[in-house]
Amino acid sequence: MTALRESLGKSGWAVRLAAGLAAFILFAVPALVLVATSWTEQRFALFPPKGFTLEWFGEVLTSKKWLQPFGRSATVAAIGTALAVILGVAAAIGVSRLRSSRAARAWRTVMILPLAVPPIALGVGLYNMGRWLNLSDGRMALLILGQMISALPFVFVLVAGAITRLDPNLHKAAQTLGANSWLIIRKVELPLLGPTILAAAVFAFVVIFDEVVLAVFLLPPGVETLPVTMLRASQETMTPALTAASTVVSLLAVLLLGGSQMVGRGKKGGADAP
């Protein structure tokens, strides 16, 4: 915003320089160091890397030790994401239908509440639930439930935000033309919310894929998701294979999330064009 830029006057450049430094030190440096150690020829991940080899990437992408937990994480995240999206989108539309603003406010408070519950406490609760219900095989279901809950606030906030930006006249017009509520949801709201729902789904997938605290508590011994494998490996030694695995997962997340944002932008741009 130009007015904001002018209002900062001569101190503006100092503020921007400081922010650039903060971005470099807090965000870029740790990531660059991590990626660099994944091509070292040494057996320990240490900066600066010595030599250059793709051996560790090869190991991560071919060994069962990494691929099996990766597959498990992907499956668990896919199920959790599907649930979080269905429930989150339904809740966002449902809350937009509430006439009483007090009820809508209360719902918003409750939908964001899971962010305030410490993951470890949720893990202890779900773990005890599993023991009391004597669910030895059902632990996986509890894990999916808990991880779905941890992604739910993000889906809700994103979709509810997009709903408030929809043109309210569309709803009225469809109603006047005799469309019932379900038809309005299916033919008017869901198509317009599509890009947001896609972005929310990808975000939820990444949140669930990366979740580690609940997984540590609820997975039976010997069964690991990728973050659990990585956490255990990090507590032994930092190996280049571990940093290579970290690099691969981060790259996938950035591609997925960046891609979904591009799709959203592209669609929105198309809709705005006259």
Q: Is 264 in the site for other proteins (CB under 8 A)?
A: no
Q: Is 7 in the site for other proteins (CB under 8 A)?
A: yes
Instruction: Quote the least distance from Cβ 187 to other proteins, whole Å.
Output: 15
Please list every residue from 84 through 103 that binds other proteins, using CB under 8 A. 86-88, 90-91, 93-95, 97-98
DSSP 8-state class, residue 26: I
Q: Is 220 in the site for other proteins (CB under 8 A)?
A: no
Residues 196 and 162: beta-carbon distance below 8 Å? yes
In terms of Cβ atoms closer than 10 Å to its own Cβ (0-12, 13-18, 19+), residue 88 is buried
Contact with other proteins (CB under 8 A): which of 67, 135, 254, 262? 254
Please list every residue from 30 through 59 that binds other proteins, using CB under 8 A. 30-31, 33-34, 37, 45-48
Q: Is 239 in the site for other proteins (CB under 8 A)?
A: no
Q: Which two tokens stand for residue 206?
A: 């990444």
The span of 60-68, 118-126, 188-196, 266-274 binding other proteins (CB under 8 A) equals 118-126
Residues 173 and 187: beta-carbon distance below 8 Å? no
Instruction: Quote the least distance from Cβ 189 to other proteins, whole Å.
Output: 11
Report angle CA 40, 73, 153 to the nearest 5 degrees: 110
Q: Is 262 in the site for other proteins (CB under 8 A)?
A: no
Give the C-alpha distances (Å, rounded to integers) separating 249 from 118, 163, 209, 227, 232.
Answer: 25, 32, 10, 10, 16
Contact with other proteins (CB under 8 A): which of 188, 201, 243, 244? 243
